[in-house]
């Protein structure tokens, strides 16, 4: 799109997926795709996140940010999903960066021994 001054606006795309206990927001701004999670990531909701991450990974973005900050709960299914996304990212230019979750979510990652393996921005 072209703005009022004749300048090209940055590429933006947004999508919101609500799945009861989990809401996934996915927004592209230029070359960065942010995927935000709110609610509970568990066996019942992991498939939708998996599909969204695979969709985003198939695009030409240079950076994918997975924002866990609004998650209130995550089980081992979520941990496994995040580890697989990280493995795919390592094989594909290491595009994935994560924002830390709340204390309960970080505790799950710490207890499973994976928090030090994941690419957190902070």
The per-residue pLDDT for range 68-104, each reduced to its tens digit, is: 999 999 999 999 999 999 999 999 889 999 999 999 9
Number of H helices, E strands in the chain: 3, 5
CA-closest candidate to residue 38, choices 13, 21, 60, 58: 21
The CA distance from 49 to 17, in Å, is 9
32-41 and 63-74 beta bridge pairing: parallel
Residue 91 belongs to a domain: yes
Residue 20 belongs to a domain: yes
Whichever domain contains 26, its CATH number is: 3.30.750.24
Structural domains of the chain, count = 1
Phi, psi of 55 (to 5 degrees): -65, -45
Residue 118 belongs to a domain: no
DSSP E strands in the chain: the ranges are 12-19, 22-29, 32-41, 63-74, 96-99
pTM for the model stands at: 0.84
């Amino acid at each position: 799109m072209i703005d009022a001054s004749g300048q090209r606006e940055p590429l933006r795309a947004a999508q919101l997926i609500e799945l009861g206990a989990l809401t996934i927001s996915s927004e592209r701004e230029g070359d960065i795709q942010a995927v935000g999670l709110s609610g509970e990531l568990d066996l019942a909701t992991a498939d939708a996140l998996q599909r969204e991450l695979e969709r985003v990974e198939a695009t030409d973005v240079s950076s994918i940010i997975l924002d866990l900050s609004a998650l209130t709960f995550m089980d081992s299914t979520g941990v496994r999903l995040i580890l697989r996304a990280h493995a795919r990212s390592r094989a594909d230019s290491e595009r994935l960066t994560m924002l830390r979750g709340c204390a309960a979510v970080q505790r799950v990652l710490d207890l499973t021994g994976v928090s030090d393996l994941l690419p957190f921005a902070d």
